Amino acid sequence: MRISFTSTNKEKDFKKLYEEYYAPFCLYAKRFIDDSSTREDIVSDVFASLWDKEDSFELNKTTALGYLKTCVRNSCLNYLKHLEYEWSYAELCQKRDPIYATAPDSIYTLEELYKMLYETLNKLPESYRVVFTKNFFEGKTHAEIAKEMNLSVKSIDRYKQRTMDFLRAELKEYLPLIAWVLLHRNAF
């Protein structure tokens, strides 16, 4: 098939077809899509596609209008299908657990990392939490903590070691991130 409005005046004939039917096809597209700029884009794309394919098939004015109508309808329906897919995907994302719940290599905010750490620390006995907090957040030495808590330095070492073992088990995928945050906390 070949579009041959007339081979000598094909640009002129195409321009005439475009000028005559662009607005009616935009109105036709309104049956499917409310947004005027989207309708205009779809109709423009259909006309551009017709121009690009002008060497691959032949149409007279009547069949060109049928072809354009079918293309506009299908493009509108494809747009709506894609829009529905986007809405479904957005809805699914809202219902889904946060990405870090299933993907340990995702990006975390500092707040999220601290939250994970504190939630895990809250599972420990209070004395273990106190030792960890004083050592990592307050920067106190084992001797200073032992003096404040009236415990031996060996007890502080043991509490810290058990806390670290627990954190390794509970936060195994996240521990390198949390350790980095703890080491660089003053930089933020």
Q: Is the pLDDT assigned to residue 163 strictly greater than 80?
A: yes
In this prediction the pTM is: 0.46
- Span 74-88, pLDDT tens digits: 999 999 888 887 777
Report the pLDDT value the prediction gives residue 187, as an integer from 0 to 100.
Answer: 46
Report the pLDDT value the prediction gives residue 28, as an integer from 0 to 100.
Answer: 92
Report the pLDDT value the prediction gives residue 114, as an integer from 0 to 100.
Answer: 77
Within this chain, do residues 18 and 90 fall inside the same structural domain, yes or no? yes
pLDDT grade for 180, boundaries at 50, 70 and 90 = low
Report the pLDDT value the prediction gives residue 39, as an integer from 0 to 100.
Answer: 92
- Residue 59 sits at φ, ψ, to 5 deg, of -135, 145
pLDDT grade for 188, boundaries at 50, 70 and 90 = very low
Within this chain, do residues 105 and 59 fall inside the same structural domain, yes or no? no
Q: Please enumerate in sequence order all residues whose Cβ is within 8 A of that of 153, keeping only pairs 6 or more positions apart, or say none.
A: 142, 143, 146
Within this chain, do residues 91 and 126 fall inside the same structural domain, yes or no? no
Q: Is the pLDDT assigned to residue 73 strictly greater than 90?
A: yes
**Exposed/middle/buried for residue 27 (C-beta within 10 Å: 0-12, 13-18, 19+):** exposed
- Span 12-44, pLDDT tens digits: 877 888 898 999 999 999 999 888 899 999 999
Tell me the CB-side half-sphere exposure of residue 152, using CA atoms within 13 A: 3
User: Which residue has 């889904």 as its token pair?
Assistant: 96
Specify the 3-state DSSP secondary structure of 58: strand
Of 32-41, 44-53, 146-155, 166-175, minimum mean pLDDT range: 166-175
User: Which residue has 């273990």 as its token pair?
Assistant: 128
Report the pLDDT value the prediction gives residue 62, as an integer from 0 to 100.
Answer: 74
The DSSP symbol for 8 reads G
Pick the last residue of a domain from 39, 65, 95. Answer: 95
Pick the last residue of a domain from 95, 113, 143. Answer: 95
Query: Alpha-carbon distance 47 to 50, whole Å?
Result: 5
Pick the last residue of a domain from 74, 95, 116. Answer: 95
Q: Is the dihedral of CA 32, 38, 41, 45 positive or negative?
A: negative
Specify the 3-state DSSP secondary structure of 3: strand
The DSSP secondary structure of 106-148, one letter per residue, reads: S---HHHHHHHHHHHHTTS-HHHHHHHIIIIIS---HHHHHHH
Within this chain, do residues 51 and 85 fall inside the same structural domain, yes or no? yes
- Distance set, CA 74 to CA 40, 78, 87 (Å): 14, 6, 20
Q: How many domains does the chain have?
A: 2
Query: Alpha-carbon distance 97 to 104, whole Å?
Result: 13
Specify the 3-state DSSP secondary structure of 59: strand
Domain ranges, residue 23:
2-95
Sequence length of the chain is: 188
Q: Please enumerate in sequence order all residues whose Cβ is within 8 A of that of 54, keeping only pairs 6 or more positions apart, or say none.
A: 2, 3, 10, 14
- Span 95-151, pLDDT tens digits: 655 544 555 555 667 777 778 888 888 898 999 989 988 887 788 888 999 999 998
Q: What is the CATH number of the domain that holds 171?
A: 1.10.10.10
Report the pLDDT value the prediction gives residue 57, as an integer from 0 to 100.
Answer: 57
